Amino acid sequence: MSLLAIGSVAFDAIETPFGKTDKIIGGAGTFISLSSSYFKTPVNLVAVVGEDFPQEYIELLQNKGIDTTGLQIKQGEKSFFWAGRYHNNMNSRDTLVTELNVLANFDPIVPAEYQDCEYLMLGNLTPAVQKTVIERLANRPKLIVMDTMNFWMDIAMDDLKAVLQMIDVLCINDEEARQLSGEYSLRVAAKKILGMGSKTLIIKKGEHGALLFQGDKLFFCPALPLEEVFDPTGAGDTFVGGFIGYLAKTDDISFENMKRAIVYGSAMASFCVEKFGTERLIDLTYEELLSRVQEFKELAGFEV
Amino acid sequence: MSLLAIGSVAFDAIETPFGKTDKIIGGAGTFISLSSSYFKTPVNLVAVVGEDFPQEYIELLQNKGIDTTGLQIKQGEKSFFWAGRYHNNMNSRDTLVTELNVLANFDPIVPAEYQDCEYLMLGNLTPAVQKTVIERLANRPKLIVMDTMNFWMDIAMDDLKAVLQMIDVLCINDEEARQLSGEYSLRVAAKKILGMGSKTLIIKKGEHGALLFQGDKLFFCPALPLEEVFDPTGAGDTFVGGFIGYLAKTDDISFENMKRAIVYGSAMASFCVEKFGTERLIDLTYEELLSRVQEFKELAGFEV
């Protein structure tokens, strides 16, 4: 029983009020697989990079229990590159550069040894690529979780709606939920979106936590109030990577267990934002994670 | 052992995307005392209105168990009037009219029969008036909770800081916490504000819930995600009225009980926004309240 993750593996250049990085490693596939690897290994990764991507970082992923058989390295090409600048409140950012490079013609080849996939995490990519991965699996996974973004709602809504018919859990942020549904109230938006295919919906609200919807059931997990959010890049991917990683580890897709998975995902995301890029996700220990989950329990727990 | 509340009793005119009201009854003192009255009666009210204030509304307050001996009626004068317009997202509003009228020279007279006050709720008013009420009580109450707003930070910061030295719990919203502390991170802001006098701090985040800080202890209660927020006016006052009402009823000011009080306050606020003004707070039953508190438990509860 394995966990398969697809998503970009890329370079980011980030400016926040706390500082500025040169090109560092980022991408949804990187954050998702690093986060999932704290729960379930191997994490089988399907992604593409150019020849500029550092071999030592691939080895680092491998040392975390990430299988990179499905990571294509395109000779003579360059990796996806994104540069952005966060505003003072860290809640909004400007994209300064987007160079698709190898992502422009990404053909997501699924290695034969990944065919035992039971938990499939479709990180943010073109909906067409996400769909191709589902179609290339001989057996339908037990759980398919999909992340996406407003950009695809703008330019590929039909493709996106087609993938929504094929998945189990959609994970988007509040603004994306409003755009997808045309509704401002997240509760009304969720109802509409749950009518589009997936049985379960997660709405991420960044520093304001996350909502989990399934039928009439509803769960809310706060974000941990932090003294300092250093760099929010990858927090959403880290969150969903922790979510599916926890589900794959426990092999229980009940609503009650999804609530726990949301808490674990939120705990992982709370580490992600403490340092630039993937830095904090690399040196994390499982004991630190468990201790942070307890902090969530203290933060949100009450008896009435 | 009694609960004493001060605050404006006033007229509001409200525009939201859902509709528009003529002058209806509002004011912090009204929302606070109505909300508190679901927990602990009598609620002793100190406030001032003009001769334009309807006698039937005063009787309605009395029927809710609110003692209006301390409600001054100024003949020949007019009640405080506020008019505002909410934007589409309901999170921001423009003030269209503010007519202080009787509030301009409010002398908060505390009737002798209110001197047994053990729980004092200082609703939003000039800090000088809030201070006067504390000074007019022969014995210091067991718990003093204070609400205030950015306006007083702009024009009466020294007075405000003096009152902060005299109270136990400060209740403000996130933007006010940032203004008072000069810090963006609410966790850092809370640390600074807790150094200004009050041992406990509540930061209201509207639709994003509320945070309770005391020493190193931290609790978060979400707002209930609602299909429709009809009119947010008074939600913050209703929240803090429920908070102190629950504490007064249970007569337990431990942190654990304050957590419960925050949940009850949040439940009361979730009713307030369902209709215009005080409408929903008038027809509410205690059974509905208990049932909503259970919704909060289901919304936020998890086992790890």
User: Nearest Cα to A239, choosing from A208, A219, A268, A205?
Assistant: A268
Contact B209 A205 (CB under 8 A): no
Express as a percent the part of chain B with pLDDT over 90: 94
Give the nearest partner residue to A188 out of B227, B293, B303, using CB atoms: B227
Q: Do the beta carbons of residue A5 and residue A43 sit within 8 Å?
A: yes
Whether the per-residue pLDDT at B230 is higher than 80: the answer is: yes
Query: Per-residue pLDDT tens for B34-91?
Result: 999 999 899 999 999 999 999 999 999 999 999 999 999 999 999 999 999 998 777 7
Q: What is the pLDDT of residue B160?
A: 98
Whether the CB of A228 is below 8 Å from some CB of chain B: the reply is yes
Instruction: Give the DSSP letter of residue B222.
Output: P
B222 inside 8 A of chain A by CB: yes
Pairwise CB contact (< 8 Å): A300 & B220? yes
Q: Phi-psi category of A199—alpha, beta or left, where left has phi over 0 and alpha has psi -120 to 50? A: alpha
Q: What was the pLDDT predicted at A22?
A: 92
Specify the pTM. 0.95
Do residues B122 and B144 touch, judged by C-beta distance below 8 A?
yes
Out of A185, A219, A229, name the one closest to residue B228 (CB): A185
**Pair type for strands A24-26 and A43-50:** unpaired
Confidence category of residue B1, pLDDT binned at 50, 70, 90: confident
CB spacing of A220 vs B293 below 8 angstroms? no
Q: What does the pLDDT average to over B8-22?
A: 93
B249 contact A CB<8A: no
Q: What is the full per-residue pLDDT of chain A (304 aa) written as tens digits?
A: 799 999 999 999 999 988 899 999 999 999 999 999 999 899 999 999 999 999 999 999 999 999 999 999 999 999 999 999 998 777 788 999 999 999 999 999 999 999 999 999 999 999 999 999 999 999 999 999 999 999 999 999 999 999 999 999 999 999 999 999 999 999 999 999 999 999 999 999 999 999 999 999 999 999 999 998 889 999 999 999 999 999 999 999 999 999 999 999 999 999 999 999 999 999 999 999 999 999 999 999 998 8
**Closest residue of chain A to B226, computed from CA coordinates:** A187
Taking the Cβ of residue A92 and every Cβ of chain B, the question of whether any pair is shorter than 8 Å is answered with no
d(CA A135, CA B262): 49
Q: Which residues of A touch B268 (CB under 8 A)?
A: none
The structural domain count of chain B equals 1
Give the residue from B66, B76, B88 showing the smallest Cα distance to B7. B66
User: Is B221 an 8 Å CB contact of chain A?
Assistant: yes
Contact A299 B220 (CB under 8 A): yes
The answer to whether the Cβ–Cβ distance between A302 and B263 falls below 8 Å is yes
Cis link prior to A111 (omega < 30° from 0)? Answer: no
The parent domain of residue B272 ranges over 3-300
Q: Which residues of A touch B89 (CB under 8 A)?
A: 184
For chain A, say whether B55 makes contact (Cβ under 8 Å).
no
Question: Residues of B with CB below 8 A from A225's CB?
Answer: 185-187, 211, 218, 220
Rg (CA), chain B: 18
Helix axes B235-250, B28-36, angle to 10 degrees: 40
pLDDT at B139: 97
Structure tokens belonging to residue B169: 């719990």
pLDDT tens sequence across B114-154: 999 999 999 999 999 999 999 999 999 999 999 999 999 99
Which of A209, A231, A273, A206 lies closest to A35 in space, CA to CA? A273
**B208 inside 8 A of chain A by CB:** yes
A192 → chain B, closest CA residue: B227
Whether B297 contacts chain A with CB within 8 A: yes
Are the C-beta atoms of B37 and B29 separated by less than 8 Å? no
Please check whether residue A259 touches B, CB under 8 A: yes
Give the pLDDT of residue B47. Answer: 98
Residue B90 has a pLDDT of: 79
Report the CATH number that the domain containing residue A121 is assigned in CATH.
Answer: 3.40.1190.20
Q: Which residues of A touch B263 (CB under 8 A)?
A: 302, 304
Please give the pLDDT value at position A304.
85
The CA distance from A9 to the nearest CA of chain B, in Å, is 31
Q: Would the CB atoms of B187 and A300 count as touching at under 8 Å?
A: no
Closest alpha carbon within chain B to A221: B300
Distance (Å, whole) CA B125 – CA B115: 21
pLDDT mean across residues, chain B: 96
pLDDT for A81: 97
B291 touches chain A (CB under 8 A): no
Dihedrals phi, psi of B122, to nearest 5 degrees: -90, 95
**Is the ipTM value over 0.85, yes or no?**
yes
Distance from CA of A285 to the nearest CA of B (A): 18
User: Between A and B, how many residue pairs show a Cβ–Cβ distance under 8 A?
Assistant: 93
- Angle of CA points A51, A3, A161, to nearest 5°: 85
Using CA atoms, how far apart are residues B201 and B211, in angstroms rounded to an integer? 8
Chain-centroid distance of CA B202 in Å reads 12
Question: At B17, is the pLDDT very low, low, confident or very high (cuts 50, 70, 90)?
Answer: confident
Nearest CB among A225, A228, A302 relative to B260 is that of A302
Structure tokens at A7: 């998503």
* Chain A contact set for B218 (CB, 8 A): 225, 298-299
Contact B219 A302 (CB under 8 A): yes
Query: How many CA within 13 A on the CB side of residue B97?
Result: 13
Nearest C-alpha of chain B: how many angstroms from A138? Answer: 35
Please, is B95 exposed, middle or buried when counting C-beta atoms within 10 Å of its C-beta (0-12, 13-18, 19+)? Answer: exposed
Buried b / exposed e along B25-55 (16+ C-beta atoms within 10 A): bbbbbbbbbbbbbbbbbbbbbbbbbbeebee
Q: What is the predicted pLDDT for the residue at B217?
A: 97
Q: Nearest to residue A53, comparing CAs of A102, A96, A4? A: A102
Q: Tokens 């229990």, residue?
A: A65
- Long-range (24+ apart) CB contacts under 8 A made by B194-198 are B196/B161, B196/B164, B196/B165, B197/B161, B197/B164, B197/B165, B197/B166, B197/B167, B198/B146, B198/B164, B198/B167, B198/B168, B198/B169, B198/B170
Contact of B88 with chain A, judged by CB distance below 8 Å, is answered with: yes
